[in-house]
Amino acid sequence: MGEGTFALTRFLVGGHARWRGCGPELGQRIYFANHASHLDTVILWAALPKALRRTTHPVAAKDYWGRNAFMRFIAARVLNAVLVDRAGRHDLLAPLRAELERGDSLIIFPEGTRKAERLPGEFKAGLHHLARDYPAAELVPVYLANLARAYPKGAILPAPISCVVNFGTPIKLEDGETKPAFLARAREAVCALAEGPVA
């Protein structure tokens, strides 16, 4: 089921990986990317080698990926995703911390919601908290090219537009670096991947 899903995804929109600043190496990582489409989760995860996908969990919104039995099956059984409930008052990062405590990796979208623009919007604080609390995890910026065009908001089926997953050079939280400064630098690391040969 899993490999068939990835093959279909690549047939429709590509999802080709370009390791521009690091390689597909084993080890704990937090991949953080721009968020333009509901396909982002599938495309980024599918771009990882099979060995990395086993221990890498996309973080996804429960209100979307948990809205019916089929979506919950894809999230839980195919993507091995961490579903986050954005409603109510609770620690949104608790399920993410649980995976990191096990030594696994995450895929997160620091904007928190989809943006139609080419460049990501302002990053929310969660990435900073994880970088501070799990300094051993490599922070890998990722830029997803053409996802907003391939599967725009409101579309039923994706358009046959080739999408590329650009992996950049890992960053880290520097000693004494403030939260706003770190989040701005993390966003710039993603934006830098949008320049040059992204697709």
What's residue 88's pLDDT?
66
pLDDT, tens digit, 9 for 90 and up, residues 47-102: 899 899 999 999 988 877 777 888 888 877 777 888 888 776 778 899 999 999 99
Any domain includes 21: yes
Number of domains in the chain: 1
Residue 123 belongs to domain spanning: 2-192
CATH number at residue 37: 3.40.1130.10
Residue 70: Cβ within 10 Å count = 8
Neighbouring-strand partners of residue 140: 31
pTM, rounded to two decimals: 0.83
Which residues neighbour 12 within 8 Å (Cβ) at sequence distance 6 or greater?
150, 158, 160
Which residues neighbour 183 within 8 Å (Cβ) at sequence distance 6 or greater?
110, 122, 123, 124, 125, 127, 128
State the average pLDDT for the chain.
Answer: 82
Any domain includes 151: yes
What's residue 68's pLDDT?
84
Angle of helix 94-101 versus helix 126-133 axis, rounded to 10? 30
What's residue 162's pLDDT?
63
Any domain includes 116: yes
Any domain includes 45: yes
Q: What percentage of the chain has pLDDT greater than the value 90?
A: 49
Question: Rounded CA gap, 145 and 156, in Å?
Answer: 20
Q: How many residues does the chain have?
A: 199
Question: Rounded CA gap, 82 and 75, in Å?
Answer: 8
Mean pLDDT by 10 residues, the chain (199 residues): 47 69 96 86 87 92 80 80 79 93 96 79 95 97 72 46 85 97 98 71
Any domain includes 198: no
Any domain includes 168: yes
Any domain includes 108: yes
Any domain includes 197: no
Question: Rounded CA gap, 83 and 184, in Å?
Answer: 26
